[in-house]
């Protein structure tokens, strides 16, 4: 066991946050802390780290163990570059490297005993450096930064120029490289794209230490954790398994608790009715029996009604009219900013009833595509045309149509006066606004809270084509489930951008993966997308050696062909030279045979005639060889 929390209590003013919270974490265990927004998850993490004191209780970290903590917001300061900031996690190893370099400079000037001492020290330091993984350290840092979504061209950027999300990623990289015995992560996936989240999953699953995570990314939790610590109405309960295991067990437990509560309520009501009847007889014996039953009833330990977080939270999107079958037609779409092309030659067809998720790395142009379709950004070329009777409902946190002077309640009521108070409260509760929250002014809300109000309004818009940009941001798990259910029951069409893989898996019927400026189409949910992408990767893996072999064979054949061609040309040249020589010699023999002194000498004439005949036979064979070489 590396960490133990015993009977932790915490309250803010008169509101209890944690009551008798107890649990433990084993070495190498990966655990999640879950609960609705405001349940006390981040508070518990801060108590564990000592950043916030508990009112009572005890947090025990095993002796000699180290702890690292990533809060939701990190403001990494200083003049360091990204690479330098992350290097600080390995400062002790880089200090060793600096000592090695200094000793290497000193060695040429040293001699005798001084050189001997220097060599011994050098051997010890290089051994420590090697054991600490110093020779692979820069590659390790590069791998972590790339895994978290930074390009090598970003490494020299000053941290002071980065956005809040980028600074958090820098701090996360620094934390992961410091390799504490237990890591505490508060919403680590908030500023990561899908590829970076997948990388972080693999990193944490294989991490040699323990990990405690607060996250709303259910897909991430399913893949990483083996224990779930739930905070529910100030109480802590521990479940073994991943998030899906927890959700299933929690539903069964809630159902059993509700059944037990209802049975007890029925029994109490029955006993109260019997007591009232006995008293109505107004006889001493019956009154005593009534009093006896009353005492027994008072001794019963009353069960509390289970807190049903989803009560009255079932909401629906309802289109006012049905659109045509062709909802969106995109042809030849291109968008670039300066020399950077986001996408080009994009053709997309979306039909009525489809729920299409657009995925891809950060900065690839997913949000830009939605804005082009909604008419907020002009394309460089191409068209995006909606079909007949298509009414768009657009959700983007940058373009919220809200009235700053109205309360949340008024914002809904003024546009939908037929809704009852209960209906409005139920809708707002689904997006985490309960009690007096509904009477807050819009101007008083944070950006995330305003986004949730906009999403609530969108559910009442009666649009038949919903375009949503990161709709699950700032929603807790219950609200995400409400939105998932509403979208799967929706009879219209949906196009959305999201990094929430669980949400995509539950709602998407089709995925468009924006990769290197082009959209790859997958007919199915996120699991199907992963399956097909893995199959494609396997095919590439299998065919690569064959392709490499084929390339090698092609290269070898090409070289052999080139050698044959060089030989043919060489043979052809030699053949032509010999033909020319023989033709010249035969011509010379003709001239010699025509001389008077030869013509009158039969023996000389016969000799020359035989020589000429041999040369002509050789010439004939050379002509045949030349034709063969030329035809090749």
Q: CATH number of the domain that 335 lies in?
A: 3.40.50.300
| In a shared domain, residues 515 and 553 | no
Out of 144-158, 298-312, 557-571, the most confident range is 144-158
| In a shared domain, residues 499 and 605 | no
Cα→Cα distances 194→168, 217, 365, 478, Å: 16, 11, 14, 22
The predicted-structure confidence for 421-457, as pLDDT tens digits, reads as follows: 888 888 888 777 888 889 999 888 876 678 788 888 8
Is residue 98 domain-resident?
yes
**Whether pLDDT at 240 is above 80:** yes
Cα→Cα distances 95→128, 134, 136, 142, 548, Å: 11, 10, 15, 19, 44
Q: What is the DSSP string of 562-630?
A: HHHHHHHHHHHHHHHHHHHHHHHHHHHHHHHHTSHHHHT-HHHHHHHHHHHHHHHHHHHHHHHHHHHHH
**Whether pLDDT at 29 is above 90:** yes
Is residue 267 domain-resident?
yes
**pLDDT score recorded for residue 10:** 94
Domain end residue (candidates: 135, 161, 187): 161
| In a shared domain, residues 271 and 294 | yes
**pLDDT score recorded for residue 388:** 93
The predicted-structure confidence for 394-429, as pLDDT tens digits, reads as follows: 988 665 678 889 999 999 998 888 888 888 888 888
Total number of domains constituting the chain: 4
| CB 397 within 8 Å of CB 451 | yes
| In a shared domain, residues 382 and 486 | yes
Tell me which residue range forms the domain holding 540: 534-631
Specify the pairing of strand 510-515 against strand 518-522: antiparallel
Mean pLDDT of the chain: 86
**Exposed, middle or buried, 84 (CB in 10 Å: 0-12/13-18/19+)?**
middle
**pLDDT score recorded for residue 311:** 42
Is residue 538 domain-resident?
yes
Is residue 207 domain-resident?
no
What does the alpha-carbon distance between residue 515 and residue 360 come to, in Å, rounded to a whole number?
A: 6
**pLDDT score recorded for residue 76:** 59
| In a shared domain, residues 335 and 417 | yes
| In a shared domain, residues 351 and 469 | yes
**pLDDT score recorded for residue 249:** 92
Specify the pairing of strand 30-34 against strand 381-386: unpaired
What does the alpha-carbon distance between residue 363 and residue 312 come to, in Å, rounded to a whole number?
A: 39
| In a shared domain, residues 487 and 511 | yes
**pLDDT score recorded for residue 553:** 54
**pLDDT score recorded for residue 428:** 86
**pLDDT score recorded for residue 546:** 59
Q: Which of 576, 522, 227 is nearest to 358 (CA)?
A: 522
Which position has the higher pLDDT, 497 or 310?
497
| CB 390 within 8 Å of CB 420 | no
**Whether pLDDT at 355 is above 90:** yes
Is residue 230 domain-resident?
no
The predicted-structure confidence for 615-627, as pLDDT tens digits, reads as follows: 888 877 887 787 7
Least confidently predicted of 449-458, 558-567, 603-612:
558-567
Cα radius of gyration (the chain): 40
What contacts 24+ positions apart, CB below 8 Å, involve 399-405? 400/450, 400/451, 400/453, 400/454, 401/454, 401/457, 402/442, 402/450, 402/453, 402/454, 402/457, 403/442, 404/441, 404/442, 404/443, 405/441, 405/442, 405/443
The predicted-structure confidence for 364-389, as pLDDT tens digits, reads as follows: 899 999 999 999 999 999 999 999 99
Is residue 147 domain-resident?
yes
| In a shared domain, residues 356 and 445 | yes
Kindly state the helix (H) or strand (E) to which residue 129 belongs, with its residue range: helix 112-131
Which position has the higher pLDDT, 69 or 400?
69
The predicted-structure confidence for 143-187, as pLDDT tens digits, reads as follows: 999 998 888 888 998 888 887 778 888 889 999 999 999 999 998
**pLDDT score recorded for residue 554:** 60
Domain end residue (candidates: 139, 161, 183): 161
Kindly state the helix (H) or strand (E) to which residue 340 belongs, with its residue range: strand 340-351
Determine the distance from the C-alpha atom of residue 73 to the mean position of all C-alpha atoms in its chain, rounded to a whole number: 19
Helix (H, G, I), strand (E, B) or coil at 118: helix
The predicted-structure confidence for 494-524, as pLDDT tens digits, reads as follows: 999 998 899 999 999 999 999 888 899 999 9
| In a shared domain, residues 519 and 591 | no
Is residue 304 domain-resident?
no
The predicted-structure confidence for 511-558, as pLDDT tens digits, reads as follows: 999 988 889 999 999 999 988 888 887 776 666 565 555 555 565 666
Domain end residue (candidates: 104, 127, 161): 161
Is residue 46 domain-resident?
no
| In a shared domain, residues 514 and 602 | no
Q: What is the DSSP string of 379-397?
A: -SEEEEEE-TT--EEEE-T
| In a shared domain, residues 366 and 512 | yes
| In a shared domain, residues 542 and 494 | no
**pLDDT score recorded for residue 312:** 44
C-alpha torsion sign, points 484, 487, 493, 496? negative
What does the alpha-carbon distance between residue 384 and residue 369 come to, in Å, rounded to a whole number?
A: 10
| CB 49 within 8 Å of CB 67 | yes
Residues 6+ apart with CB under 8 A from 609: 593
**Whether pLDDT at 210 is above 80:** yes
């Amino acid at each position: 066991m590396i960490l133990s929390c015993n009977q932790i209590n915490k309250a803010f003013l008169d509101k209890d946050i944690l009551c008798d919270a107890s649990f433990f974490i084993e070495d190498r265990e990966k655990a999640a802390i879950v609960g609705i927004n405001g349940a006390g998850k981040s508070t518990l993490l801060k108590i564990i780290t000592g950043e916030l004191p508990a009112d009572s209780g005890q947090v025990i970290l095993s002796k000699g163990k180290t702890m690292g903590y990533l809060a939701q917001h990190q403001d990494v300061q200083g003049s360091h570059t990204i690479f330098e900031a992350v290097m600080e996690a390995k400062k002790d190893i880089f200090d060793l490297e600096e000592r090695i370099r200094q000793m290497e400079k000193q060695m040429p000037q040293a001699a005798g005993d001084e050189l001997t001492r220097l060599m011994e020290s050098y051997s010890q330091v290089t051994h420590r450096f090697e054991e600490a993984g110093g020779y692979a350290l820069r590659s390790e840092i590069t791998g972590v930064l790339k895994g978290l979504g930074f390009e090598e061209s970003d490494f020299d950027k000053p941290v002071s120029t980065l956005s809040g999300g980028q600074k958090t990623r820098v701090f996360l990289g620094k934390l992961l490289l410091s390799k504490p015995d237990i890591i505490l992560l508060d919403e680590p996936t908030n500023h990561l794209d899908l590829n970076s989240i997948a990388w972080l999953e693999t990193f944490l699953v294989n991490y040699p230490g323990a990990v405690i995570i607060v996250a709303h990314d259910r897909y991430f939790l399913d893949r990483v954790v083996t224990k779930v610590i739930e905070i529910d109405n100030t109480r802590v309960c521990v479940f073994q398994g991943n998030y899906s295991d927890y959700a299933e067990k929690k539903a069964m437990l809630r159902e059993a608790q509700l059944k037990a509560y209802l049975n007890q309520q029925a029994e109490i009501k029955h006993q109260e009715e019997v007591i009232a009847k006995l008293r109505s007889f107004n006889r001493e014996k019956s009154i005593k029996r009534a009093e006896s039953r009353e005492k027994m009833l008072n001794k019963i330990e009353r069960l509390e009604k289970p807190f049903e977080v989803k009560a009255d939270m079932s909401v629906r999107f309802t289109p006012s009219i049905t659109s045509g079958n062709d909802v969106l037609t995109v042809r030849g779409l291109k968008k670039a900013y300066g020399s950077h092309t986001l996408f080009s030659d994009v053709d997309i067809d979306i039909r009525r009833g489809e729920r299409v998720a657009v995925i891809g790395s950060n900065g690839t142009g997913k949000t830009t595509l939605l804005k082009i379709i909604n008419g907020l950004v002009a394309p460089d070329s191409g068209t995006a045309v909606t079909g007949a009777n298509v009414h768009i409902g657009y959700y983007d946190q940058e373009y919220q149509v809200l009235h700053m002077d109205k309360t949340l309640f008024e914002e809904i009521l003024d546009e939908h006066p037929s809704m009852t108070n209960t209906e409005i409260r139920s809708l707002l509760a689904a997006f985490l606004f309960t009690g007096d929250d509904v009477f807050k002014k819009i101007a008083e809300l944070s950006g995330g809270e305003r986004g949730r109000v906009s999403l609530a309004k969108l559910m009442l818009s009666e649009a038949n084509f919903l375009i949503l940009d990161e709709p699950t941001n700032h929603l807790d798990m219950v609200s995400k489930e409400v939105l998932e259910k509403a979208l799967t029951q929706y009879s219209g069409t949906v196009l959305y951008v999201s990094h929430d893989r669980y949400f995509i898996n539950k709602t998407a019927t089709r995925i468009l993966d924006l990769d290197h400026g082009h959209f790859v189409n997958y007919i199915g949910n996120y699991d199907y997308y992963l399956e097909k992408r893995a199959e494609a990767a396997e095919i590439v893996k299998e065919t690569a050696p064959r392709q490499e072999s084929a390339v090698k064979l092609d290269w070898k054949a090409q070289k052999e062909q080139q050698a044959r061609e060089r030989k043919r040309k060489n043979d052809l040249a030699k053949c032509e030279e010999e033909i020319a020589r023989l033709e010249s010699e035969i011509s010379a023999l003709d001239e010699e045979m025509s001389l008077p002194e030869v013509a009158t000498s039969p023996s000389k004439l016969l000799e020359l005639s035989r020589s000429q005949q041999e040369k002509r036979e050789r010439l004939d064979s050379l002509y045949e060889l030349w034709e063969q070489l030329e035809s090749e």
